[in-house]
Amino acid sequence: MVSTLQKQTYQQYEWIVVDGGSVDQTLKFVQESDIKVKRVISECDDGIYDALNKGLKIATGKFCIFLHSDDWWEDPNFLAKYVSKIAPRSIVLYSNVKFFDANRGLVRQWVDPLRSKFSVTSGWMPPHVSMLVNLDFVRRHTLLFDTNFSISADYDWILKLAELSGPMDWIYVPDQFVSMTTGGASNGSTSKYLRSLLEDFIILSRYGILKSIIGSFNKKIRKIGQWYE
C-alpha cells in the first residue's frame, strides 16, 4: 500500500492510517515512510467499518478514497486521473476492480458502469475501494457506515449515497483499476455468504419485500460473469 502511494504522480493528498491497535511493525513502518502528510489512529476498533468511520470523521480534504492494507493501484497516475475527472457536481467517482488470490492470481474483475439510479437497488454495487467520494456531501448528510451490519455496511452506505444523489453526480473512470486481495468481510466461508445475503435483504427491505428479494439475489448473480477459471 505504501509503495502505491509513493509512486503516485499526484501527491496532494492526506494519508490517514487507521490501525486496530496492532502489535506488529505496522506503526513503525508508517512513521518511517517518507509520506509527509499523514495522520495515524492506533486503537482497538469494532471491525472494518468502525475503522473506516474513524477515517471519515477526521479527514480534512474535499474527497476521500479507501485503500486497505492488501490493496494497490496499478497506475502511478491513478489519483491524477481521478482528480482530472472531478466536475463541479461530482459526488462519486469510481472505476474497475481486479480481485487477486494470496498468490496474486487473478480471480475475478468488476467492470460495470452505472446505468441508472435504480441499478443500485437492483443489485449493482461498485466495490467501495474504487470510489472517490465527495467529503462535503458525506459530512452534510452524516453518511457513516452502519456498524450494525458486519458484512454489507458498504452496500448500505453506497445505497444511501445513491438515494441522495443522481446518476449525473456519479462519474465512471473506465481506464483505471483498483487491485485488491480476496478475503475481505464478504468473501470466504459459507456462513459469511449467508450472513451477507441476510444483511443485503434487510438493507433492501426499506424498498419493499419484492425489491429486497430481487436485489439481494441479483447482487450475488451479477458476480458470476466476473470469475476467471
Cell of 87: 466536475
Question: How far is the C-alpha of 159 from the C-alpha of 163, rounded, in Å?
Answer: 6
- Proportion of the chain above pLDDT 70, given as a percent: 88
The CA distance from 135 to 138, in Å, is 5
Task: Give kind and range of the element (H or E) at residue 27.
Answer: helix 26-32
Mean pLDDT for all residues in the chain: 86
Over range 129-154, report the average pLDDT: 96
Task: Compute the distance between CA of residue 101 and CA of residue 78 in angstroms, rounded to an integer.
Answer: 22
Q: Is 40 helix (H, G, I), strand (E, B) or coil?
A: strand
One of 3.90.550.10, 1.20.1260.10, 3.30.70.370, 3.40.50.300 is the CATH number of 2-226, namely: 3.90.550.10
Q: Residue 96 contacts by C-beta under 8 Å, 6 or more apart in sequence?
A: 109, 110, 111, 130, 174, 176, 177, 178
What's the confidence (pLDDT) of residue 229? 44
pLDDT in tens, 30-85: 777 777 767 888 888 889 999 999 999 999 999 999 999 889 999 999 999 999 99
Give the distance between the most distant pair of CA atoms in the chain. Answer: 53
Residue in the structure block whose three cell numbers are 482530472: 84
The alpha carbon of 180 is separated from its chain's Cα centroid by a whole number of angstroms, namely 11
Give the tens place of pLDDT for each residue, 28-45. 777 777 777 678 888 888
In tens, the pLDDT along 98-140 reads 999 888 899 989 988 876 666 777 778 889 999 999 999 999 9
pLDDT at 81: 97
| pLDDT above 90 coverage of the chain, percent | 49
pLDDT of 141 reads 96
| Confidence check: pLDDT of 228 > 70 | no
Domain map of the chain by residue range? 2-226
Question: And the C-alpha cell for 213?
Answer: 428479494
**Which band of pLDDT confidence, cut at 50, 70 and 90, is reported for residue 204?**
confident
Q: What is the mean pLDDT of residues 1-16?
A: 89
Please report the pLDDT score of residue 64 as a whole number: 97
